[in-house]
């Protein structure tokens, strides 16, 4: 799509990684810090995850999680990225000994599911938790523990996978329907462009109920963002780590980590 950009090997293709963490988890519970890292993906794979090629470009720290106000914090970053794409900046190449115009683009964000919700401004909680299936998310409300569980995962298998026809091993019904396709960038933009953004706690309840998407993601300010088909990636290893943390925390009954609460019982 952008051959002029792609032809220059010194242009940066960046991945943006972001997650909330508490560096002093064992000391205080009310500190949340959100580091934002930029990774350069168009250098060799054995280098791009090295520490010296990662850029900590921003750090959000505060007593509470930033939630959807995250956009306000991200504004200066998006502005810079916009400049880097539209005009570029002059950078000195010490190896060749000349100045050149450096441009950069973000081609995806890498995060866990909760940060995904923050960045794509989709509510990843409650019934319609899947940002792809949206209102077609298959869920069940458990009667006693009042938790939502998500079902019908077999539709993500290959069309003729043998599991799809098995009934007894699963919930008694076959699953023949296919998985939904994610929306392309411009389709998503059409969907969210008219949403009025209200930041802070004054957000009206009815407004939030009408749209599953609460606002337009900040990243749509980047001119190329609508041309990306996969905009947000889930870091599977990180999600697995979170699941393992919860499992171990529950099995060993670690205070603050265990999920064995009253509702679960």
**Interacting residues toward Zn ion by CB under 5 A:** 130, 132-133
CB of 179 to Zn ion, least distance (A): 7
CB of 60 to Zn ion, least distance (A): 29
Of 155, 157, 132, 156, the C-alpha closest to 213 is 132
CB within 8 Å of 213: residues ≥ 6 apart: 121, 122, 123, 191, 192, 195
CB of 83 to Zn ion, least distance (A): 36
Nearer to Zn ion among residue 132 and residue 142 (C-beta): 132
Count CB neighbours of 163 within 10 A.
13
Nearer to Zn ion among residue 58 and residue 130 (C-beta): 130
CA-CA distance, 229 to 102, in Å (whole number)? 24
Nearer to Zn ion among residue 2 and residue 156 (C-beta): 156
CB of 109 to Zn ion, least distance (A): 18
CA-CA distance, 88 to 103, in Å (whole number)? 4
CB within 8 Å of 15: residues ≥ 6 apart: 38, 39, 41, 106, 107, 108, 109, 110, 233
Query: Residue 169 CA to chain centroid, in angstroms?
Result: 33
Of 246, 35, 8, 189, the C-alpha closest to 104 is 8
Nearer to Zn ion among residue 43 and residue 180 (C-beta): 180
Nearer to Zn ion among residue 10 and residue 125 (C-beta): 125
CB of 49 to Zn ion, least distance (A): 29
CA-CA distance, 44 to 220, in Å (whole number)? 28
């Amino acid at each position: 799509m952008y051959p002029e950009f792609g032809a220059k090997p010194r242009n940066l293709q960046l991945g943006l990684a972001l997650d909330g963490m508490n560096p002093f988890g064992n000391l205080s519970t009310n500190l949340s810090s959100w580091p934002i890292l930029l990774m350069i993906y168009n250098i060799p794979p054995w280098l791009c995850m090295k520490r010296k090629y990662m850029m900590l470009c921003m750090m959000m720290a505060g007593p509470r999680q930033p939630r959807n106000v995250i956009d306000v914090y991200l504004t200066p970053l998006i502005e810079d990225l916009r400049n880097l794409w539209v005009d570029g900046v002059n950078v000195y190449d010490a190896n060749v000994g000349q100045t050149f115009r450096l441009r950069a683009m973000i081609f995806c964000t890498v995060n866990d599911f909760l940060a995904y919700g923050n960045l794509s401004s989709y509510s990843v909680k409650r019934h319609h938790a899947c940002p792809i299936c949206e209102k077609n998310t298959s869920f069940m409300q458990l009667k006693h523990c009042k938790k939502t569980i998500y079902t019908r995962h077999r539709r993500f298998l290959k069309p003729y996978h043998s599991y799809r026809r098995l009934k007894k091993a699963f919930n008694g019904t076959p699953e023949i329907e296919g998985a939904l396709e994610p929306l392309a960038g411009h389709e998503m933009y059409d969907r969210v462009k008219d949403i009025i953004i209200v930041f802070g706690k004054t957000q009206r309840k009815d407004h939030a109920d009408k749209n599953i998407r609460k606002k337009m993601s900040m990243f749509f300010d980047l001119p190329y963002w609508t041309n990306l088909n996969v905009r947000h990636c889930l870091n599977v290893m990180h999600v697995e780590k979170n699941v393992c943390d919860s499992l171990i925390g529950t099995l060993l009954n670690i205070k603050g980590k265990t999920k064995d609460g009253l509702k679960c019982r």
